[in-house]
Homo-oligomer: A and B are copies of this chain.
Amino acid sequence: MTGGYTLSELARRVDASVRGSGEVVIRGVNTVAAAAADQITWVSDAKYLSQLGQSRAGAVLVPEAFGDVPMPSLRAVSVERALSRLLSLFAPPVPRPEPGVHPSAVVAESAVLGRDVAVGPHVVIGEGAVIGDRSCLCAGVHVGADCRIGVDCVFWDQAVIRERCEIGDRVILHPHVVIGSDGFGYYFADGKHNKIPHGGRVVVGDDVEIGAGSTLDRSKVGETVVGVGTKIDNLVQVGHNVKIGAHCIVVAHCGIGGSTVLGDGVVLGGQVGLRDNITLGDGVVVSACSCVSRDVAPGKMLGGIPAYDHGQYLRVQTVMHRLPDLVRQVKELAKRVQNLESADDKPTRGA
């Protein structure tokens, strides 16, 4: 990184073309406002192009179709992909435990660690757990008995996975994730809530990423499931026996009620609540701060509490703040209609 790359070299590495001088040397990526002369910045939306005039950036990454810009540029079909590669090239190394077992870790004798597994300080691994090759358990991670963890996983500090859960390959858990806590289920009898045993487990597919502090409960029987490639943000709650499909996006603070089913490619905005025992079809999109209380057909976009068609929701939002005016108008109309009715009456009476 210290040596940097010429813009031409970068173009080759991120699959882009150069406009302007390819000789400028780039040593990092930064925002339009903060980039220095040896850094490259990026603009993917034309409305921000004007800000480039004040930028000190040595180069800029833009979509192929953009016109001239005030500095040398990289042109890419997908700015996001090229940016992601640039960020990878320049990102500082991420310090993680080295392969091997830290002496402060507590690893059960019957646990099986694959090749080059890294077990950090104060990690705890239960009896019969299996950890796949090259997976990394950072400091304070707890893996319960009989868990099966795939290869190339990274579990950040103090993630907790309780017994018998199954995690796929290349899964990333951020700090303080909890997987496999008991579901919230009781029956009321004898004047109190009686705990229902939750002897199921949680199964997390390959390439899933789960954000800091999120919690995924285990089911009574069977499995709580997170599908392949799904990305869950911070502080999300996933109830017992929930099935989340593949390649979903679940933004921070969402709560998904027990036994609810999400198809593939579902997107939940921040702070969305889904009640228990409903089904959202493939590709459903729910806008932030909404609450879904019934089944939703595939491909629908929803908003509101409770949620309904998103287009209609937007129209409602547009007029919502005028509700007091509407009340006044109706009151006034009622008076005028009353007057008209009286006027109609009078001639009759006068006749």
Q: 1/0 contact trace for A156-182 toward B, CB 8 Å?
A: 111010111000000010111010011
List the one stretch of A5-13, A16-24, A278-286, A323-331 in contact with chain B.
A323-331
Known: A106-B122, A187-B78, A222-B31. A176 touches B160 (CB 8 A): yes
**A83 within 8 Å of B (CB atoms):** yes
- Please tell me if the beta carbons of A330 and B326 are within 8 angstroms of each other in the complex: yes
- Please tell me if the beta carbons of B308 and A305 are within 8 angstroms of each other in the complex: no
Q: 1/0 contact trace for A251-270 toward B, CB 8 Å?
A: 11101010000000000001
- Please tell me if the beta carbons of B321 and A317 are within 8 angstroms of each other in the complex: no
Taking the closest CB of chain B, its distance from the CB of A262, in whole angstroms, is 15
Taking the closest CB of chain B, its distance from the CB of A180, in whole angstroms, is 9
- Please tell me if the beta carbons of A231 and B305 are within 8 angstroms of each other in the complex: no
Query: How far does the alpha carbon of A256 sit from the alpha carbon of B157 in the complex, in Å?
Result: 23
Interface residues of A in 258-310 (CB under 8 A from B): 270-271, 273, 275, 288-289, 291, 293, 304-306, 308-309
On chain B, the residues within 8 Å of A319 by CB distance are 323-324, 327
**A134 within 8 Å of B (CB atoms):** no
- Please tell me if the beta carbons of A221 and B31 are within 8 angstroms of each other in the complex: yes
On chain B, the residues within 8 Å of A115 by CB distance are none
Q: Report the nearest B residue to A102, measured CB to CB.
A: B106
**A193 within 8 Å of B (CB atoms):** yes
Taking the closest CB of chain B, its distance from the CB of A267, in whole angstroms, is 10
- Please tell me if the beta carbons of A306 and B316 are within 8 angstroms of each other in the complex: no
Query: How far does the alpha carbon of A215 sit from the alpha carbon of B239 in the complex, in Å?
Result: 18
Taking the closest CB of chain B, its distance from the CB of A40, in whole angstroms, is 10
- Please tell me if the beta carbons of A178 and B174 are within 8 angstroms of each other in the complex: yes
**A62 within 8 Å of B (CB atoms):** no
- Please tell me if the beta carbons of B95 and A247 are within 8 angstroms of each other in the complex: no
Question: Could you say which of B30, B197, B215, B334 contacts A222, with CB atoms under 8 Å apart?
Answer: B30
- Please tell me if the beta carbons of A121 and B124 are within 8 angstroms of each other in the complex: yes
Question: Could you say which of B102, B252, B304, B337 contacts A340, with CB atoms under 8 Å apart?
Answer: B337
Q: Report the nearest B residue to A329, measured CB to CB.
A: B330
Query: How far does the alpha carbon of A94 sit from the alpha carbon of B180 in the complex, in Å?
Result: 12
Query: How far does the alpha carbon of A164 sit from the alpha carbon of B93 in the complex, in Å?
Result: 11
- Can you list 15 A-B contacts (CB < 8 A)? A30-B221, A34-B222, A80-B187, A87-B221, A92-B199, A160-B175, A160-B176, A175-B181, A178-B234, A192-B247, A193-B231, A237-B252, A255-B270, A273-B289, A305-B305
Q: Measuring CB to CB, which residues of chain A are less than 8 angstroms from any residue of chain B?
A: 28-31, 34, 78, 80-81, 83-84, 87-88, 90-92, 94-95, 102, 104, 106, 120-122, 124, 126-127, 139-140, 142, 144-146, 156-158, 160, 162-164, 172, 174-176, 178, 181-182, 184, 186-187, 189, 191-197, 199, 207, 209, 211-213, 215, 217, 220-222, 229, 231, 233-235, 237, 239, 247, 249, 251-253, 255, 257, 270-271, 273, 275, 288-289, 291, 293, 304-306, 308-309, 312-313, 315-324, 326-327, 329-330, 333-334, 336-337, 340-341, 343-344
A-B pairs, top 5 by smallest CB distance, nearest first, are A91-B199, A80-B187, A289-B291, A95-B145, A181-B212
